[in-house]
A and B are shown apart, each in its own frame.
Chain A
Amino acid sequence: MNLETKQLTLNTGQKVWYEYDHDGDLLELIFRQADASCAVELTESIILRFDWATNEPLSLSFISFSKLVRPTPYGQLYFQLLNDEWPDEIQGKILTMLQFSALNEFLGLSSYVPAYLHDIIPTTTIKSSYLTTLAA
């Protein structure tokens, strides 16, 4: 395995370990090393593991990470949140974690409204510049 590991310190002082698997192009950010009691697909390429009882994020994984952060002619990529696939009982948990936990250091939330549709499509983007330099 060809792993690259580093430690980050967030603005809040929280330590986060990141681990990039060069062979598999998989990045995992580890907020706390522990067995998870739940995990969901936030998007088709971003997986969140967390503690069910406390709503504490434990890790965030990015599949094909280098492809997710490559620049495009129109700027950075936004990814549709798979909120329709989250069971009803965890919708609130996930939204709370995305808005108020260490996750929002790495993921930005936004909405997209396609023309002629009234429903909004929630999206996320990878926003930490120190993560994009990792894949370069």
Chain B
Amino acid sequence: MRKWFVKDREGREIYLTEEQWQHIISRHGELRQYLNEVLNTVKYGKRKQQPQDPQAYVYRQACDSLPPPFNGIMVVVVFHFEQSPEGYEITNNFMVTAWGIMMRR
């Protein structure tokens, strides 16, 4: 199964699995043609921590290629640490879902 890896503006590696992407577009079909835009939102967008959850962040970026009135994309990323088989702490940062949104610009 495919996985797409991107780095955000501060160099954190984040991935999206094909399974998760298929689930996203099965629920939010309006993003079906916009995989690159979703990945670019994590690459270049601004991130903000969720107020109630220090491990969850939302990345946002304006996107003019979506059909109006959508004008932006939001992606939820969860940051986890896990133990490698060798005992090292490794990051497991993955995209959970994404939306096309209408935001004030």
Contacts and interface: CB of A to CB of B under 8 A. Distances in A.
**A-side interface size class:** 35 or more
Given A26-B96, A38-B69, A63-B56, A47 B50 contact: no
B102 A25 contact: no
B95 to A, nearest CB: 9
Interface of A: 1, 3, 19, 21, 23-26, 28, 30, 33-41, 44-45, 47, 49, 52, 59, 61, 63-64, 67-68, 77, 84-87, 89-90
**B-side interface size class:** 20 to 34
B15 interface: no
B94 to A, nearest CB: 8
Nearest to B97: A26
B4 to A, nearest CB: 16
Contact of A64 (B30, B53, B94, B99): B53
Contact of B30 (A21, A35, A86): A35
Contact of A40 (B19, B94, B102): B102
7 contacts: A33-B27, A35-B28, A35-B30, A39-B30, A41-B101, A59-B27, A64-B56
B100 A39 contact: yes
B20 interface: yes
Interface stretch (B37-45, B70-78, B83-91): B70-78
A37 B30 contact: yes
Interface string B45-68: 000101111001010000000010
Interface of B: 19-20, 23, 27-30, 48, 50-53, 56, 58, 67, 69-70, 74, 76, 78, 94, 96-97, 99-104
B73 to A, nearest CB: 10
A63 B56 CA distance: 8
Contact of B78 (A25, A41, A44): A25
B28 A36 contact: yes
Given A26-B97, A49-B28, A41 B53 contact: no
A26 B94 CA distance: 13
